[in-house]
């Protein structure tokens, strides 16, 4: 069954969509079955995956509003190497439309239930705000991955996001947990990058990924060509960073699985 990871940050311009696209592509290259779900009306994850958001016959808006079936909206085998549930500006309708739906925060969860066996991972690109679309993403997800540049205001916004996470754990999704924090737009020459890193590790420990995503021209250019950086320039530092991130991500999944099995193994006392 697929693990659903929401890639979210309430602050814009942090590398959220870039991380969603390139982590999806990197996992797909190592033969994982990936579904990218674009929950942002900007449709950048859709375009960055090589799908023209202006020529869609069905979008996430149609799914959430119950006008189309998942099979008619799902785009399989994109040139990026993974499947996509696409979006465009029409998705703004759902922000208002969902308010009149019963259990509106669980619409996405219900949509995804029938296809979880078909994928290893589903990556959700959430909007850079806490609206009903983001809430749907976080309620449907098993975990949240937070891309964060090493800047003061980003660190300040992280506190607000963690508060949102705790609220949802208490109300709509008790199993939601922090997958990790990925440092993006990283410049090792910048003293602030080092200072923010120290603060992150102090507060979040090993939840902070060792892999950092650098500022990289090729990484910034790739979306305009409708490609993940791995397919645009596989030799770039951005490509290498996201492949490393995918490797660290999978290593953590294996470790978590091993710890879960150990925790649930019967002891001598429980066997007697």
pLDDT at 268: 44
Tell me the pLDDT tens digit for each residue of 179-190.
Answer: 999 999 998 888
pLDDT at 101: 86
Domains of the chain: 3-271 (3.40.50.300)
How far is residue 202's CA from residue 204's CA, in Å, rounded to a whole number? 6
Rounded mean pLDDT, 124-148:
95
The owner of tokens 């990218």 is 36
Structure tokens at 77: 């085998």
pLDDT at 32: 98
Assess whether pLDDT exceeds 90 at residue 45.
yes
Structure tokens at 93: 């309708």
**Nearest 5 degrees, angle CA 225-CA 226-CA 231?**
85
pLDDT at 272: 40
152 vs 232, more confident: 232
Indicate left, alpha or beta for 15 from its phi (over 0: left) and psi (-120 to 50: alpha): left
Phi and psi angles of residue 85, each rounded to the nearest 5 degrees, phi first: -100, 105
38 DSSP β-pair partners:
125
How far is residue 162's CA from residue 181's CA, in Å, rounded to a whole number? 11
pLDDT confidence tier of residue 267, bands split at 50, 70 and 90: very low
- pLDDT-above-90 percentage for the chain: 78
Whether the model clears a pTM of 0.95, i.e. scores above it, the answer is: no
């Amino acid at each position: 069954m697929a693990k659903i990871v929401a890639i979210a940050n309430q602050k814009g311009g942090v590398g959220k969509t870039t991380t969603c696209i390139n982590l999806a592509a990197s996992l797909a290259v190592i033969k994982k079955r990936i579904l990218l779900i674009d929950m942002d009306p900007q449709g950048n994850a859709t375009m960055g995956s090589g799908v023209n958001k202006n020529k869609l016959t069905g979008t996430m808006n149609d799914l959430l509003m119950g006008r189309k079936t998942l099979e008619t909206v799902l785009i399989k085998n994109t040139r990026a190497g993974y499947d996509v549930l696409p979006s465009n500006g029409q998705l703004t309708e759902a922000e208002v439309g969902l308010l009149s739906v019963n259990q509106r925060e669980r619409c996405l969860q219900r949509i995804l239930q029938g296809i979880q066996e078909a994928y290893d991972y589903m990556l959700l690109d959430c909007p850079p705000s806490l609206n009903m679309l983001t809430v749907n993403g976080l309620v449907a997800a098993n975990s949240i991955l937070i891309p964060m540049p090493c800047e003061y205001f980003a660190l300040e916004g992280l506190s607000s996001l963690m508060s949102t996470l705790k609220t949802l754990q208490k109300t709509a999704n008790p199993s939601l947990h922090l997958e990790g924090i990925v440092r993006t737009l990283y410049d090792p020459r910048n003293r602030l990058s080092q200072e923010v890193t120290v603060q992150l590790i102090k507060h979040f420990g090993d939840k902070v990924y060792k892999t950092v995503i650098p500022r990289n021209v090729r990484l910034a250019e790739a979306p305009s060509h409708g490609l993940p950086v791995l397919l645009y320039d596989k030799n770039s530092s951005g490509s290498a960073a996201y492949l490393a991130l995918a490797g660290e991500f999978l290593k953590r999944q294996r470790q978590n699985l091993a710890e879960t099995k150990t925790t649930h193994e019967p002891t001598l006392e429980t066997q007697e």
